[in-house]
Copies of this chain bind each other. A is one copy, B any other.
Amino acid sequence: MRFFVFGIRPILVFLTLSLLRPVGLGFAQDAPAHTVPERTLPIPSTVSPELQKAMARTCKMPGTPPTMVELMARIHKAEADSEAYVGHIQKDFDVSVEEGRLGGVRIYDVKPAVIAEENRHRLLMNVHGGGYISGRGVGGTSEAVYMAYYGKIEVIAVDYRMPPEFPFPAAVDDSVAVWKEIIKTHTPNDVGIFGTSAGGGLTLATVLRLKELGLPLPGAIMAGTPWSDLTKTGDSYFTNEYVDNALCTYDGDLGAAAKLYAGGHDLKEPLLSPVYGDLSGFPPTVLVTGTRDLFLSNTVRVHQKLLQSGVEAELLVFEAQSHAQYYAEAPETAAAHQEVVQFFDRHLGR
For this complex, into which size category does the number of interface residues on chain A fall? 35 or more
Q: How far is the CA of A24 from the CA of B12 in the complex (A)?
A: 51
A31 x B57 contact (CB < 8 A) = yes
Pick from B19, B55, B135, B304: contact of A335, CB below 8 A.
B304
A324 x B36 contact (CB < 8 A) = no
Pick from B14, B130, B236: contact of A8, CB below 8 A.
B130
Closest to A329 in B: B15
Name the B residues within 8 Å of A23 (CB-CB): 77, 81
A118 to chain B, nearest CB (A): 19
Pick from B5, B140, B241, B327: contact of A134, CB below 8 A.
B5
A234 x B88 contact (CB < 8 A) = no
Chain A 237-253, CB-CB to B under 8 Å as 1, else 0, gives: 01111110111100011
In the complex, identify which listed stretch (A101-109, A179-187, A293-301) lies at the interface while the others stay far away: A293-301
Chain A 273-304, CB-CB to B under 8 Å as 1, else 0, gives: 00000000000000000011000110011011
Interface residues of A (CB under 8 A from B): 1-12, 14-16, 19-20, 23-24, 26-47, 53-61, 63, 71, 74-75, 77-79, 81-82, 84-85, 88, 128-131, 133-135, 139-140, 142-143, 196-199, 233-236, 238-243, 245-248, 252-254, 257, 291-292, 296-297, 300-301, 303-304, 307-308, 314-320, 323-325, 327-329, 335, 339
